Amino acid sequence: MPKKTFLRLDAEKQERVIRSAIGEFNKNGFERTRIEDIAAGAGVAKGSIYQYFEDKKDLYIYCAEWGLAVFMKKLDGYAPTSDMDIFEYFADTLTKIRVMQEEKDLIAFLSLMTQEPGLAEASMAGMYQVGDEYIVRLIANSKRKGSVRRDIDDEILKEYFIGITDRFERRWMSRYLDFSREIPPEQNEMVQKELAQMLELIKNGRG
């Protein structure tokens, strides 16, 4: 838990500190990250970090919570509507990728977090859960509408969809990491073409 001093800081400075920390943790992992570098990156003195947080671990955990909250808020704008079909949802993957691409540092941090032993495991649970809930809802909607077969267990369908989409999202996302802002149109076309093939496989099978 950050100290009250940190919470009284103006939002801009808070974010500067957290983003710097996330960047460093991301680059080096928890142990190899030096508080001094985080401080330098945020343009404050090392001592200040200790005015804000109990210790390095406290800072890390706050980064996790903060990052998770920001990420979830972003994702929220991409939540499936109550009667949305899973295919409609996937059709718009490009938007999702773009949203995530804006926060690539954050996402990299969140996914590395899962590997840090004994730090923020608790915070993580929530993250996966949200994604899972979306898929579960979409499967229910789709079964109701008849666009997804009803003879397969929901659990299996969930794993199947997550397996495929995670893999492709990662693949596509990595294509956008290099571009800072302007994305060449052929990039988008390429993704759309691959997406179409992916959906085709899901719909008509025979791998």
Partner DNA sequence: ATAATATATGACTATAAAGTCACATTCAAA
Partner DNA sequence: TTTGAATGTGACTTTATAGTCATATATTAT
Using CB under 7 A, list all residues that contact DNA.
Answer: 4-5, 8-9, 13, 32-36, 44-48, 50-52, 55-57
Instruction: Output DSSP code: residue 122.
Output: H
The site string for its own copies over 67-106 (x = CB under 8 A, - otherwise) reads: -------------------xx-------------------
- For 17-71, give the DSSP string: HHHHHHHHHHHHHHHH--HHHHHHHHTS-HHHHHHH-SSHHHHHHHHHHHHHHHH
The whole-angstrom separation of Cα 196 and Cα 190 is: 10
Pull the structure tokens for residue 73.
Answer: 């808020």
Query: Which residue in this structure is represented by tokens 């994604």?
Result: 131
With respect to its own copies, which residue has the nearer C-beta, 9 or 130?
Answer: 130
Residue 10 as a binder of its own copies (CB under 8 A): the answer is no
Beta carbon of residue 31, minimum distance to its own copies (angstroms, whole number): 3
The whole-angstrom separation of Cα 192 and Cα 187 is: 9
- Specify the stretch interacting with its own copies by CB under 8 A; choose among 38-46, 57-65, 99-107, 162-170: 162-170
Residues within the interface to its own copies (CB under 8 A): 27-32, 86-87, 112, 115-117, 142, 147-149, 152-153, 156-157, 159-168, 171, 194, 197-198, 200-207
